[in-house]
A and B are shown apart, each in its own frame.
Chain A
């Protein structure tokens, strides 16, 4: 049985725009402003199964946070239905809250001036847990998330990575079967991100906790998710296994090279030059089909390379590439039909 089922969910917001400039500001004091209707989520359907990690990908503003808020019962869908553990999370908020955990990446639920340990103890009484089993769970979490070193340090003295780990632990104290991780790696250093992903993976595997992971970083998704859904402007753009997403849309890479002198003609047997800027040149190629070392060698044969780095395609581009192709497919379809 699915843990979470969303069917044809729509969510609209009213947005009031402020007029620009000084005159507009003064006018705003006296006039009622008319709202603009924005569809943050549009006809979305998906589900989360027990034991899986579902990635929710989308650019900023695509509607990811809104989805999490509806799934946790904070706001109600304008239309459509959401069922969490078989009940409407909005109608039965307290009951639902007892069964899921949530970590909002940029905001912490820990008491700022006290140690994480104290927050854990407070959560025992907030969730009305049994002392014995809660202590066992806390011990397990401290072990898996490696919190022992700073368990008794005030939260305000922790690094962001350490704090996020404690937040994840705090979200799991009451042994929920599903947790929502909303952009948990934002702002964490590269090494910290790696460790966080490893920790999340362990939790999912050891305790079979399902995870809904929102992120706009491909690396998070690649490391952790079994399945992904891609949201674009509130709509479902892709749903399926991670491999197919990567296969289909995420292959493009950019190699940015810094040469000793501005290059003239550059002949390449694979890859295409997408940008030139003084001494720097950007070459676009397809991972898997074209080899980065070969391209590098080819350029080096023609010009002296001082430095280079390789960039993955940013998620926004992956999505717009996907959207473009879908649009093309739809256009082609209508041509065929006509």
Chain B
């Protein structure tokens, strides 16, 4: 049943495969409709609680490092949007660690598709939709409080930034998943990335040099939400020309991560007899 394929046909086949499998995932989630809604609701409440804490702090101070409450909320919203698409469409890559540890990863290698495709298609986290909805809602209400006008240019920039941020996160998560080919059961790296991500909820200017270097290089999450927020809000410490940085960094990160993944695959030894 082998069919000779041109690159265009191969791409079309891959996209079709992805679409079919993700539709199945969404339907699978909907088969637990009540649980899905409950989880999404809880998810939004959790994001909201984070915002509430911010609000509590701002009952005592006017600004933090020159950022007002609406501006902080704006940053918060971008932070939430930066993982929304990843959660919705690519979070399956996170399962790599568990699959490798259980020895079930082999089943993915017995299929005539690239493992990354099959991994990302394993599940669809509908909380990503909750992220999108909540993020946009906060973004809009924060910009209303600041008299921030959404010009066409700004909307396009927002779109570019959200997509780049998600691509960047996909890259980071793929690299993290690839580590499990060498260090089995190393779920901690994922937790560390998420801990570092907590830092990006606040303006990077408050941190010391060491942390900032980390956020711009090794785990470049600065480009996921802080730079986009600073560019859109016209903050002094980030010149407007930096708008090109998030997409470039995101692409580089993704390419690098896929490379690491390929290396990991090659050295993969399955567990068990």
Contact = CB atoms under 8 A, between A and B. Distances in A.
* Direct contact, A vs B (beta carbon within 8 Å): yes
Interface of A: 13, 40, 60-66, 69, 72-75, 93-95, 97-100, 102, 104, 107, 109, 111-114, 118, 121-122, 125-129, 154, 174-175
Given A129-B1, A154-B31, A40 B273 contact: yes
B112 A127 contact: yes
Given A75-B270, A111-B24, A122-B20, A128 B106 contact: no
Kindly list the 7 A-B residue pairs having the minimum CB-CB distance in the complex, ordered from nearest: A97-B112, A98-B112, A113-B28, A125-B20, A125-B17, A94-B112, A74-B109
Interface string B80-109: 000000000000000000000000101101
A109 B107 contact: yes
B5 to A, nearest CB: 8
B21 A98 contact: no
A128 B13 contact: yes
B38 interface: no
Nearest to B106: A74
Nearest to B1: A174
Interface of B: 1-3, 13, 16-17, 20-21, 24, 27-28, 31-32, 104, 106-107, 109-114, 118, 268-270, 272-273
A127 B110 contact: no
Contacts of A93: 109
Q: Which of B31, B106, B110 has the most CB of A within 10 A?
A: B110
A138 to B, nearest CB: 14
Contacts of A72: 106, 109-110
Contacts of B111: 97, 126-127
A114 to B, nearest CB: 5
A112 B25 CA distance: 10
A114 B1 contact: no
A94 B31 contact: no
A175 B1 CA distance: 8
Contacts of A104: 106-107
Contact of B110 (A40, A74, A154): A74
